[in-house]
Amino acid sequence: AQSVTQLDSQVPVFEEAPVELRCNYSSSVSVYLFWYVQYPNQGLQLLLKYLSGSTLVKGINGFEAEFNKSQTSFHLRKPSVHISDTAEYFCAVSDGGLTGGGNKLTFGTGTQLKVEL
């Protein structure tokens, strides 16, 4: 079984400051990792994904994440946030079908990023 932990339910930050949203996962097999963003009253949109290769993944809107296998983490970062980044962010993990249950996603409980002036 897989699980995802997003320890921070809310992260307030001032505009133009850097931000890191934390994500830790557990899995018995190799994983694929994803970050999704949900803007108010909208569905989920993919920010970035790690499938294989380079552990530093760059996504849309200036976000990036680093896959750290030894620490089972996939933290999301942005060097300078904007008001428009205010949204809820979800980390998710997939086993790629390796455990026989298909490649379902397991989501964390989300982190609400609030960017203030």
CA 37 from chain centre, in angstroms, equals 8
C-beta of 32 vs 63, nearer to another protein:
32
- Report the interface residues with another protein, using CB under 8 A: 9, 32, 34, 36, 42-46, 49, 51, 90, 94, 96-97, 102-105, 107-110
Any bridge partners for residue 65, and if so which? Answer: 57, 76
Nearest-approach distance from CB 108 to another protein, in angstroms:
6
C-beta of 51 vs 60, nearer to another protein:
51
Q: What is the rounded distance in angstroms from the CA atom of residue 27 to the CA atom of residue 29?
A: 5
Nearest-approach distance from CB 110 to another protein, in angstroms:
5
Cβ–Cβ < 8 Å for 29, 8: no
